Amino acid sequence: MNRRMRKQGKGKFAFMFVAIIVGIFLLVALLQYLWNTLMCDIFNLKAITYWQAFGLFVLSRILFGRGFGKPKRGGFRPDFPQYIDKQEDLSEEERERLRAEWKRRFSGRCGF
């Protein structure tokens, strides 16, 4: 790898690092703004400071997110097409058995 490519790689890394940091600060500022304008009016709560909004952001990422790394799996059910393929391979007798089992398990709950 020559010097120019290494220099470009370092420049891209530095830009992405700064962009991520600035993005986090802007996201926290947006969180603080929304909290102070909406939650204070709707639920009569106190206004929060920037650092309280930052703590709220971190807490929400820990509780509802998957930490701060990349997600382990993409999407809600990445293996969903696999189930569709399995159902297409069923014979008519197996499908009828599956329908009967579903009716037995979910009768009265799901409109069966």
This prediction's pTM? 0.53
Beta carbons within 8 Å of 46's beta carbon, 6+ residues apart: 40
Distance CA 16, CA 32 (A): 24
Per-residue pLDDT of 18-36, as tens digits, reads 999 999 999 999 999 999 9
Please report which residue ranges of the chain form alpha helices under DSSP H: 3-34, 40-43, 50-64, 80-88, 92-106
Per-residue pLDDT of 59-105, as tens digits, reads 998 888 866 665 555 555 555 555 555 666 778 888 888 888 888 88
Beta carbons within 8 Å of 45's beta carbon, 6+ residues apart: 39
Distance CA 110, CA 112 (A): 6
The pLDDT of residue 55? 94
Give me the residue spans of the domains in the chain. Answer: 3-64, 79-112
**Higher pLDDT pick, 9 / 4:** 9
Count CA within 13 A, CB hemisphere, residue 58. Answer: 7
